[in-house]
């Protein structure tokens, strides 16, 4: 079964593909353009974005969309729902500058996935990974905020881990696991 992943981020596609393909779900990148709404929650961004896609594409194909955010406690949850924009504009260096001399470095990565199931409609899956912001960028694996995020219980940033190590605790994979459990009933024996 093939699921079209509506995103322009090949890194996300690769991360999810590695987790779903062994269970019989192909994941294909779909560069369909849509208006990304600005909202206060990841759930609202996904529900409204999927609504637009469903209106244009119809309900007869498998497709998904995700949104993720890095929520830093001492910055009041910033960058949160604006994480992609902040990454493009000030990047990891800008976040580290904002965090200079900040002792409370706790943060959480969150992902929300919307999945259209033909004949069933929209389902939403949430995942998260708690951790902290490092004092400097470390590692060259992954993408986005991976070089500055240290998951709880580890000393390495996501960018210092292998893909398999990261996937064991990734916020996105947490949501994908929940989606995969939901999809188990759709796999042919």
Annotated domain spans of the chain: 2-186
Q: Which of 86, 80, 92, 173 is nearest to 139 (CA)?
A: 92
Catalytic residue IDs: 67
pLDDT at position 188: 53
CB 131 within 8 A of CB 176: no
Q: What is the mean pLDDT of residues 125-141?
A: 97
Mean pLDDT of the chain: 91
CATH code reported for the domain at 2-186 = 3.90.950.10
Q: What is the pLDDT of residues 142-155, one digit of tens each?
A: 889 999 999 999 99
Please list, in sequence order, all residues whose beta carbon lies within 8 angstroms of the beta carbon of residue 96, skipping any fewer than 6 positions away. 133, 135, 136, 137, 148
pLDDT at position 189: 42
**Residue 138 or 54, more confident:** 138
Q: What is the pLDDT of residues 80-106, one digit of tens each?
A: 999 999 999 999 999 999 999 999 999
CB 139 within 8 A of CB 157: yes
How far is 185 from 157, CA to CA, in rounded Å?
A: 35
State how far the alpha carbon of 148 is from the alpha carbons of 5, 70, 183, in Å: 26, 11, 33
Length of the chain: 189
Least confident span in 5-19, 66-80, 148-162: 5-19
pLDDT at position 78: 97
State how far the alpha carbon of 104 is from the alpha carbons of 68, 75, 145, in Å: 22, 10, 18
Flag whether the pTM goes above 0.85: yes
Q: Rg of the chain's alpha carbons, rounded to an integer? A: 17
Q: Which of 7, 25, 6, 14 is nearest to 179 (CA)?
A: 25
How far is 150 from 154, CA to CA, in rounded Å?
A: 7
Q: In what order do the strands lie in the sheet with 63-72?
A: 26-30, 2-6, 63-72, 106-117, 121-133, 149-151
pLDDT at position 113: 97
Strand-pair category, 2-6 with 63-72: parallel
């Amino acid at each position: 079964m093939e699921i079209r992943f509506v995103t322009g981020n090949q890194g996300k596609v690769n991360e999810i593909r590695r987790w779903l393909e062994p269970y019989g779900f192909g994941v294909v990148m779909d560069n369909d353009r849509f208006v990304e709404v600005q909202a206060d929650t990841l759930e609202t961004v996904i529900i409204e974005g999927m609504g637009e896609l469903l209106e244009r594409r119809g309900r007869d194909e498998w497709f998904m969309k995700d949104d993720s955010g890095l929520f830093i406690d001492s910055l009041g949850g910033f960058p949160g729902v604006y994480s992609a924009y902040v990454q493009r504009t000030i990047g990891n260096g800008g976040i580290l500058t904002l965090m200079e001399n900040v002792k409370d470095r706790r943060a959480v990565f969150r992902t929300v996935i919307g999945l259209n199931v033909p004949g069933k409609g929209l389902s939403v899956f949430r995942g998260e990974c708690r951790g902290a912001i490092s004092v400097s960028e470390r590692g060259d694996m992954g993408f986005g905020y991976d070089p500055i995020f240290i998951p709880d219980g580890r000393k390495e940033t996501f960018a210092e881990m292998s893909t398999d190590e990261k996937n064991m605790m990734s916020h996105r994979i947490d949501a994908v696991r929940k989606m995969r459990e939901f999809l188990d009933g759709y796999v042919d024996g």
